[in-house]
A and B are shown apart, each in its own frame.
Chain A
Amino acid sequence: GNSVTQMEGPVTLSEEAFLTINCTYTATGYPSLFWYVQYPGEGLQLLLKATKADDKGSNKGFEATYRKETTSFHLEKGSVQVSDSAVYFCALRTDGYNKLIFGAGTRLAVHP
């Protein structure tokens, strides 16, 4: 079946460090891929998305590239800030279906 696997957290970094959160997926067809962010006490916000192979989604300094050959959509940021502390969810939507399938989420804590 369709699924999303994220690296386990928490991820703890110092400010200005490089961030990678790994995400791999299993899906039939050609899914669309998403990263969502949940700040403490808030709902989910769409961070970025990619709808086909080799697409790169980017927003707020975050990037992720849709790699069909490795079925991956890793999230990266070159220099994290304390304000990036949140839970990050990778998700997919497969062709013909409207629901999102989420990974388990990765908590990021950035310290000054």
Chain B
Amino acid sequence: SAVISQKPSRDICQRGTSLTIQCQVDSQVTMMFWYRQQPGQSLTLIATANQGSEATYESGFVIDKFPISRPNLTFSTLTVSNMSPEDSSIYLCSVDQTGDGYTFGSGTRLTVV
């Protein structure tokens, strides 16, 4: 299965600032997925990122708040913009290389103060 490197692993940020999270995969994949896991909660899909096209956002998530880049088939970034304490979460990227299972990165633990 694919190996995903995600960074930073954690960060503490001031409210009103932005943080860009990077996700690198060791093989080419068509789709990359970004999830949010709020404290003590389950995972919620933010958006699906395809190379060469705009990301597709789930209900409740907008591009202005969570802009995504997908410059090639092995890399994607998620930016959390104009952060507030409510954005404190774990953000995970994921890929489905084999078609019947998903591999997740180790996550970025974000705390907004």
Chain A residues with CB under 8 Å of chain B are: 32, 34, 36, 42-46, 49, 51, 89, 98-100, 102-105
Contacts and interface: CB of A to CB of B under 8 A. Distances in A.
Interface of B: 1, 6, 31, 33, 41-45, 48, 58, 92, 94, 96, 100-107
B103 A46 contact: yes
Given A99-B58, A104-B42, A105-B42, 7 more contacts: A44-B43, A44-B92, A46-B103, A100-B33, A100-B45, A100-B102, A102-B44
Contacts of B31: 98
A2 to B, nearest CB: 12
B41 A42 contact: no
Contact of A45 (B33, B44, B96, B104): B104
A31 B42 CA distance: 19
22 contacts: A32-B100, A36-B104, A42-B107, A43-B6, A43-B92, A43-B104, A43-B106, A45-B104, A46-B1, A46-B103, A49-B101, A89-B43, A98-B33, A99-B33, A99-B48, A99-B58, A100-B33, A100-B45, A100-B94, A100-B102, A102-B44, A105-B41
Nearest to A101: B45
Contacts of B45: 99-100
A105 B107 CA distance: 17
A22 to B, nearest CB: 16
A102 B42 contact: yes
A111 to B, nearest CB: 21
A45 to B, nearest CB: 7
Interface centre among A36, A44, A51, A104 (most CB of B within 10 A): A44
A42 B103 CA distance: 13
B100 A43 contact: no
Contacts of A49: 100-101
